[in-house]
Amino acid sequence: MRVLSVAGITGSGKTTIIENIITELTKRRYSVGSIKEIHYEKFAIDEEGTNTDRHYKAGADLVTARGYFETDILYKKRLSVQDILRQYDHDYVVLEGVEDFFVPKIISAHNIEEIEAKLDETVFAISGRISNEIEEYQGIPVINTITNIDQMVDLIEQKVFPALPNLPEKCCGTCGYSCKELTGEILRGERDRNDCPIGSENSVQLKVDGHEIDMVPFVQDILRNAVEGVVKELDGYKKNARIEITIGDKNGTSR
């Protein structure tokens, strides 16, 4: 999944930029999901006194409201972006106002000061009101998404890559960078996505109940050795063969 982020102060036009990007991406036949960070301490999507709110207040910590045309899964805690993304299976996911997950970023700004406040190595485009005044800032294209959405989405197609795992450096560090730094290196063309061993070709993929679990190379190796240690004793095994294992029934939600 390719993930990008739009950052900027409140009122800088983030949502409008995202609307334009999503509209154009879907026009180009991509599936799109989004994640919106809400910086408002009292945010609560459910209203006081609804049945679901009553379930929650009685002690249910995960409550779903299912209607005829929507299904709202309400976690009563803040999930990590990694955990949220496990629910997604889209070509592109757009993050609005998320500060703790590093992916290629578009800044939305009125002026140079607002650009400077959000500028880092992950920025590959700038948009918002400032795009009426300049076309480029420190080598980064400044694009108006109302008049020039094609240029912006061409750039997204060219620049945005499958998200890095955003593991803490202490847990991985295999590539020699943090995920934030590697994002910058990839955007500048000095490294590429395969420099991250997680999600690249020779890796071990693990899904639990359909959700992908990231593993650092060390853990991938343990799992590969554990599996191959058994499987290589069986008739039909070939060295370097692709191995697929499924434990649990295909339809099982609820063993």
Which residues, 209 to 248, sit near a copy of itself by CB under 8 A?
209-213, 215, 219, 222-224, 226-231, 234-238, 240-248
* Tokens representing residue 109 in the block: 């700004």
Q: How far is the CB of 118 from a copy of itself (least distance, A)?
A: 18
Q: Residue from 129, 174, 206, 217 that binds a copy of itself (CB under 8 A)? A: 206
Looking at 109-117, 149-157, 184-192, 198-206, which segment touches a copy of itself (CB under 8 A)?
A: 198-206
- Helix (H) or strand (E) holding 212, with range, is strand 211-213
User: Residue 55 or residue 129: which is nearer to a copy of itself going by CB?
Assistant: 55
Cα distance between residue 229 and residue 236, in whole Å: 14
Write out the binding residues for a copy of itself, residues 131-190 only, by CB under 8 A.
162-165, 167, 171
Of 46-105, binders to a copy of itself (CB under 8 A) are 46, 51-52, 54-55, 57-79, 81-90, 94, 96, 98
Closest approach of Cβ 121 to a copy of itself, in Å? 20
Instruction: Choose the binding region for a copy of itself from 115-123, 124-132, 137-145, 207-215 (rule: CB under 8 A).
Output: 207-215
CB of 155 to a copy of itself, least distance (A): 18
The piece of 40-48, 116-124, 139-147, 149-157 that touches a copy of itself (CB under 8 A) is 40-48
Give the pair of three-digit tokens for residue 136: 């480029």
The 10 Å Cβ neighbour count of residue 236 is: 6
Q: Which residue, 13 or 184, has its beta carbon nearer to a copy of itself?
A: 13
Binding window for a copy of itself (CB under 8 A); candidates: 28-36, 104-112, 118-126, 152-160: 28-36
Kindly give, in sequence order, each residue whose CB lies less than 8 Å from that of residue 180, ignoring residues fewer than 6 positions away. 102, 120, 121, 122
CA 104, CA 98: separation in Å to the nearest integer?
A: 12
Cβ atoms of 180 and 122 closer than 8 Å: yes
**Binding residues for a copy of itself, how many (CB under 8 A)?**
119
- Looking at the Cβ atoms of 15 and 148, the one nearer to a copy of itself is 15
Q: Specify whether the backbone of 209 is left (phi greater than 0), alpha (psi in -120 to 50) or beta.
A: left
Query: Does residue 32 bind a copy of itself (CB under 8 A)?
Result: yes
CA pair distance 235, 250, nearest whole angstrom: 25
Length of the chain in residues, anyone?
Answer: 255
User: Which tokens hold the place of 14?
Assistant: 């983030």
- The set of residues, in sequence order, having a beta carbon less than 8 Å from that of 3 and lying 6+ positions away, is 85, 92, 93, 94, 95, 101, 103, 160, 162, 163
